[in-house]
């Protein structure tokens, strides 16, 4: 039920802009927190999905001119202290330390670490505040309560307390406060910046760590021990009226907030992100380059926090699983006699249908809506064997294995059934799942139907069964005469793959008929419709090859695997295109450890294309793949997608999975 929080339209109550955060033109501010949040989480064009917020959502989360929003709330001097805003742990201040020859610093590394971890605990608490409030959106049966999911006409209230106007407001307020803290960490610390090389190291110029990776301890999934560099420091903050490079009062003889912060500068909150000139009036560390480094880290951290928040919402509260229109499209061509003699693709289709909400199930709760499903059987032509209706009546018994293959016909029939219904909204709440074992050669027709699906907001997920090592007879289509060929191991073209992914669905190559059932789990994990949020990292399933699309240089594609203790994992990477440069990073999430990483392209081979990890303990592995290189299109995006040469992402029973990258 989490998607109401993820995708709902929000509004905000205007409040006086009296402090740092979302203010513009006050004390040199340029709404840095707001702009960082918008740059990281905005949706491009009319698309709204689980990875981004609609403009209305961002108006409350990030704030608008004259408002603080949720992310700016810790700086709102109306809600908090007239001098400090929310206390220092909300901003990761006062965790200062310096180890420079000739200076006896008044605080130890251990004292600074203690204060830093108080900030981390505070951030994680705000994160949990948001998750706890999301639970209140649901009724006792787990369905969305419309009254609790509303934004009041007067907007969401903010104060120093935990509660806001509604459960939804409170959830976003908690998440926004957490974002404020993580963004401030990169601005108020030396994690990402560089010291002035022309000035001696000291109180006014502490060492800079210059890291480009994120701090592990800010990830709420992290269980430690944290990586705390010896020279990590934030600044002592004595209040805006007393914040100078040379400390006074409680900050005498200490590295100050003013000496270290990178709070001021221009952030482009639009499609391409980036930064402009900094404002040196904020402090000597606020150079244009240091400001850029802090903003880049803060934007990346903001996206990580949202990915983690999404996954926690789904794991805790489940998906929005009702009121959807689903098309199940099953291949009945003759080749399935060899590729799927046990008819497990039909079992997979039945399993998909079994997870939908029937009218009887929905009748018990006034907030629930039943799903609708249609079942399509296709060989050289398509048949609607169950018109769009209640899942309880769907019948799969007539699906056989005979004839040729025409995939476009099956997709077209499903689209026709879904769009003919006017009871439910189609866009964003419809999905088609295709289970097939072959490529029919009618690529142009498939592209037309995938474009129709995209235009109607229908997510298409595609399971391609390709287990055949030795070619078998390819069944003829009617009218083709007696020139039967062979059915080799096949895969769709790059253009078709990208068209599938751009509907929001997934493309998985299934290495065996038994893995058809694993494909069902993957479809629901990815989100069967846009209303189903989908986990931010696509789970890896044994025997499945998963395709992922990287469309922006600033964001990566994520995959996850739950590793067992003493399991050996090897990732073999390769690029079929010369246009993209790739970076792959494998992280043991709970420990914040990058266990393997590499950069590769079509020109590399051998060790550069391999990631190895021997797990000493069980835990979650996350594979992040980023791409750069090709010229951006008119929308500023490019297409680099993740796949191997046979369309496989294989995790075999020996604990190896093989991952390859090609460009669209």
Find out whether the peptide bond into 214 is cis, omega within 30 degrees of 0: no
In DSSP terms, 619 is beta-bridged to: 563
| pTM: predicted TM-score of the whole model, two decimal places | 0.72
Q: Distance between CA 86 and CA 69 in Å, rounded?
A: 14
Q: Specify the residue for token string 């269980």.
A: 223
pLDDT at 660: 31
pLDDT at 168: 77
Q: Distance between CA 154 and CA 190 in Å, rounded?
A: 41
C-alpha pair distances (Å), 205 with each of 234, 241, 242, 400, 541: 12, 21, 19, 75, 50
| H helix runs in 16-137, sequence order | 32-41, 55-61, 69-72, 109-135
Retrieve residue 494's tokens. 């790059």
Retrieve residue 660's tokens. 């390859």
Give 36-71 pLDDT, tens digit per residue: 998 888 877 666 567 777 777 788 888 888 788 888
Find out whether the peptide bond into 595 is cis, omega within 30 degrees of 0: no
Specify the pairing of strand 640-642 against strand 544-550.
antiparallel
Cβ contact 74:86 at 8 Å: yes
Retrieve residue 560's tokens. 């996850």
Mean pLDDT of all residues in 518-534: 79
Catalogue the E-assigned strands of 325-367: 325-331
pLDDT at 196: 95
Give the contacts of 144 (CB within 8 A, at least 6 positions apart): 1, 4, 137, 138, 320, 367
| H helix runs in 364-481, sequence order | 407-420, 443-455
Q: Distance between CA 381 and CA 403 in Å, rounded?
A: 9
Give 613-656 pLDDT, tens digit per residue: 888 888 889 988 887 765 433 333 445 554 443 333 333 222 23
Retrieve residue 403's tokens. 């004839």
Q: Is residue 137 pLDDT above 80, yes or no?
A: no
pLDDT at 47: 60
Give the contacts of 425 (CB within 8 A, at least 6 positions apart): none
Burial class (CB in 10 A: 0-12, 13-18, 19+), 634: exposed
Specify the pairing of strand 650-651 against strand 657-658.
antiparallel
Q: Distance between CA 519 and CA 270 in Å, rounded?
A: 36
> Hey, what domains does the chain have and what are their CATH numbers?
3-79+90-317 (no CATH), 319-534 (3.40.50.410), 538-664 (2.60.120)
Q: Specify the residue for token string 């509660």.
A: 163
pLDDT at 151: 58
Cβ contact 653:511 at 8 Å: no
pLDDT at 144: 65
| Position with higher pLDDT, 553 vs 197 | 197
Q: Distance between CA 501 and CA 493 in Å, rounded?
A: 13
Q: Is residue 344 pLDDT above 90, yes or no?
A: no
pLDDT at 467: 52
Angle at alpha carbon of residue 286, lines to 284 and 288, rounded to 5°: 125
C-alpha pair distances (Å), 208 with each of 182, 191, 291, 319, 641: 18, 7, 13, 43, 36
Q: Percent of the chain, pLDDT > 90?
A: 33
Q: Specify the residue for token string 């899942």.
A: 391
Q: Is residue 270 pLDDT above 70, yes or no?
A: no
Find, among 170, 181, 68, 169, the residue nearest to 122 by Cα. 181
| Number of residues in the chain | 664
Q: Distance between CA 4 and CA 593 in Å, rounded?
A: 33
pLDDT at 265: 82
3-state secondary structure of 433: strand
C-alpha pair distances (Å), 67 with each of 156, 157, 182: 11, 11, 20
Cβ contact 356:529 at 8 Å: no
Cβ contact 401:334 at 8 Å: yes
Other C-beta atoms closer than 10 Å to the C-beta of 288 total 16
C-alpha pair distances (Å), 215 with each of 194, 237, 661: 16, 22, 27
Find, among 419, 379, 396, the residue nearest to 328 by Cα. 396
Q: Distance between CA 37 and CA 303 in Å, rounded?
A: 9
Angle at alpha carbon of residue 69, lines to 65 and 73, rounded to 5°: 120
Give 569-623 pLDDT, tens digit per residue: 877 676 655 677 788 899 999 888 899 998 877 777 777 777 888 888 888 899 8
Give 543-568 pLDDT, tens digit per residue: 666 666 665 555 677 888 888 888 88
Q: Is the dihedral of CA 207, 208, 214, 219 positive or negative?
A: positive
Cβ contact 585:643 at 8 Å: no
What are residue 575's phi and psi, to 5 degrees?
-120, 130
Retrieve residue 557's tokens. 């594609």
Cβ contact 272:636 at 8 Å: yes
Cβ contact 155:143 at 8 Å: no
In DSSP terms, 596 is beta-bridged to: 586
Q: Is residue 393 pLDDT above 90, yes or no?
A: yes
Cβ contact 148:166 at 8 Å: yes
C-alpha pair distances (Å), 525 with each of 52, 430, 497, 539: 18, 16, 19, 7
| H helix runs in 255-287, sequence order | 257-260
Q: Percent of the chain, pLDDT > 70?
A: 72
Burial class (CB in 10 A: 0-12, 13-18, 19+), 431: buried
Q: Distance between CA 418 and CA 395 in Å, rounded?
A: 18
Mean pLDDT of all residues in 267-288: 72
Q: Distance between CA 373 and CA 465 in Å, rounded?
A: 23
pLDDT bin (cut points 50, 70, 90) of residue 479 is very low
3-state secondary structure of 261: coil
Cβ contact 130:171 at 8 Å: yes
pLDDT at 141: 62
Q: Distance between CA 634 and CA 637 in Å, rounded?
A: 7
């Amino acid at each position: 039920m989490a998607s109401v929080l993820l995708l709902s339209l929000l509004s905000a109550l205007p409040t006086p802009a009296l402090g740092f955060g979302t203010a513009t033109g006050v004390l040199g501010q340029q709404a840095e927190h707001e702009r960082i949040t918008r740059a990281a989480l905005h949706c491009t064009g009319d698309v709204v999905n689980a990875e981004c917020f609609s403009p209305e959502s961002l108006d409350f989360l990030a704030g608008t001119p004259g408002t603080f929003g949720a992310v700016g709330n810790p700086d709102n001097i109306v809600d908090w202290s007239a001098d400090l805003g929310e206390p220092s742990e909300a901003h990761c201040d006062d965790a200062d330390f310096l180890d420079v020859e000739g200076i006896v610093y008044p605080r130890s590394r251990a004292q600074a670490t203690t204060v830093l971890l108080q900030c981390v605990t505070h951030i994680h608490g705000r994160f949990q505040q948001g998750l706890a409030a999301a639970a209140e959106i649901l009724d006792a049966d787990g369905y969305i309560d419309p009254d609790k999911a509303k934004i009041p006409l007067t907007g969401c209230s903010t104060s120093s307390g935990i509660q806001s106007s509604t459960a939804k407001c409170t959830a976003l307020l908690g998440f926004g406060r957490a974002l404020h803290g993580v963004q401030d960490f990169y601005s108020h610390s030396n994690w990402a910046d560089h010291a002035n090389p022309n000035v001696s190291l000291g109180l006014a110029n502490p060492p800079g760590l210059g890291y480009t990776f994120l701090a592990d301890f800010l990830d709420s999934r992290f269980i430690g021990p944290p990586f705390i560099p010896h020279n990590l420091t934030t600044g002592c903050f004595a209040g805006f009226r007393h914040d100078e490079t040379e400390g006074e009062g409680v900050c005498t003889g200490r590295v100050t907030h003013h000496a270290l912060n990178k709070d001021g500068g221009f952030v482009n909150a639009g499609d391409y992100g980036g930064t402009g000139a900094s404002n040196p009036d904020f402090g000597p560390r606020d150079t244009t380059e240091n400001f850029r480094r802090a903003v880049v880290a803060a934007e990346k951290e903001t996206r990580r926090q949202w990915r983690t928040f999404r996954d926690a919402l789904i794991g805790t509260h489940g998906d929005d699983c009702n009121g959807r229109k689903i098309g199940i499209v099953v291949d009945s061509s003759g080749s399935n006699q060899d590729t799927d003699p046990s008819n497990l693709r039909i079992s997979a289709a039945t399993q998909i249908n079994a997870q939908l909400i029937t009218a009887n199930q929905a009748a018990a709760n006034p907030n629930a809506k039943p799903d609708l499903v249609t079942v399509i059987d296709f060989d050289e032509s398509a048949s609607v064997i169950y018109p769009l209706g209640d899942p309880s009546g769907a019948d799969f018994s007539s699906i056989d294995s005979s004839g040729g293959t025409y995939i476009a016909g099956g997709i077209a029939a499903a689209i026709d059934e879904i769009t003919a219904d006017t009871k439910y909204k189609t866009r964003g709440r419809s999905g088609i799942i295709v289970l097939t074992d072959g490529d029919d050669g009618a690529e142009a027709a498939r592209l037309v139907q995938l474009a129709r699906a995209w235009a109607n907001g229908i997510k298409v997920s595609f399971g391609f069964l390709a287990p055949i090592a030795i070619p078998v007879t390819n069944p003829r289509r009617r009218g083709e005469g007696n020139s039967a060929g062979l059915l080799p191991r096949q895969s769709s073209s790059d253009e078709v793959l990208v068209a599938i992914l751009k509907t929001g669905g997934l493309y998985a190559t299934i290495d065996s008929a038994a893995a058809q059932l694993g494909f069902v789990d993957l479809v629901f994990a990815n989100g069967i419709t846009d209303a189903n949020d989908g986990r931010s990292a696509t789970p890896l399933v044994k025997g499945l090859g998963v395709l992922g699309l990287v469309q922006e240089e600033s964001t990566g594609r994520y995959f996850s695997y739950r590793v067992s203790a003493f399991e050996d994992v090897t990732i073999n990477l390769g690029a079929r295109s010369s246009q993209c440069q790739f970076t792959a990073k494998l992280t043991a999430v709970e420990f914040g450890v990058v266990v393997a990483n590499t950069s590769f392209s079509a020109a590399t081979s051998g060790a550069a294309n391999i990631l190895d990890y021997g797990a000493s303990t069980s835990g979650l592995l996350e594979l992040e793949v980023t791409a750069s290189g090709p010229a951006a299109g008119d929308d500023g995006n490019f297409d680099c997608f993740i796949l191997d040469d046979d369309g496989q992402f294989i995790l075999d029973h020996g604990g190896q999975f093989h991952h390859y990258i090609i460009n669209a």
